[in-house]
Amino acid sequence: MDFLELARNRYSERFFDSRPIEQDKLDRILEAGRIVPTACNYQLQKFYLIRSEEGLAKLRTVTHFHCNVPLMILVCYDIREVWTNPSDRYYRNYNSGEQDASIAATTMMYEAEELGIHTIWIRGFDSKTVVDTFGLPDYMVPVMMLGLGYPNERAKANAWHYRRRPIEDFVHEL
């Protein structure tokens, strides 16, 4: 499948079965997140795998968007390692952390789709609660969670998934 077809067909899955993700496929997904471009190549993205029964039980306490996934990747960045732009007068205190971690998460999401593994992008959580619940260091900033799994018999895209605004709403000449 070509990339645009893959991107058009990928949707946020909400119905997963309990099959585990094979290690070789998970390795490919994680590698996709490792090799992404980051600001100044700082490579500050960090991935925490949540797949044990204990970890998944904790997950259910920090977000109700867990969709009973068999594997969640908590995508974070290390605030100590970010690239900053002190000369930006419009966006004061800009740092590349969220941007870099999001590039990694997006790349992992599409690699999973290529492998037949469905995903859901989750940001419905309180970052401090996640840090405290999972015992992360205070310098680790949660950006999002990427739920992965195989779809169950109820899986399908929501009707609104295929509604797209026209390209003119996005592209402007300067």
Tell me the pLDDT tens digit for each residue of 23-53.
999 999 999 999 999 999 999 999 999 999 9
DSSP lists the bridge partners of residue 84 as 95
**Domain membership flag for residue 174:** no
DSSP annotation of 75 reads: E
DSSP annotation of 19 reads: P
Global pTM value: 0.95
CATH code, domain with 15: 3.40.109.10
Residue entry with tokens 């260091």: 137
HSE toward the beta carbon, residue 114, CA cutoff 13 A = 15
The pair of structure tokens assigned to 97 is 């952390």
Q: What is the rounded average pLDDT of the residues 54-58?
A: 98
Number of domains in the chain: 1
Contact of 82 with 96, CB cutoff 8 Å: yes
| Rg of the chain over all Cα atoms, to the nearest angstrom | 17
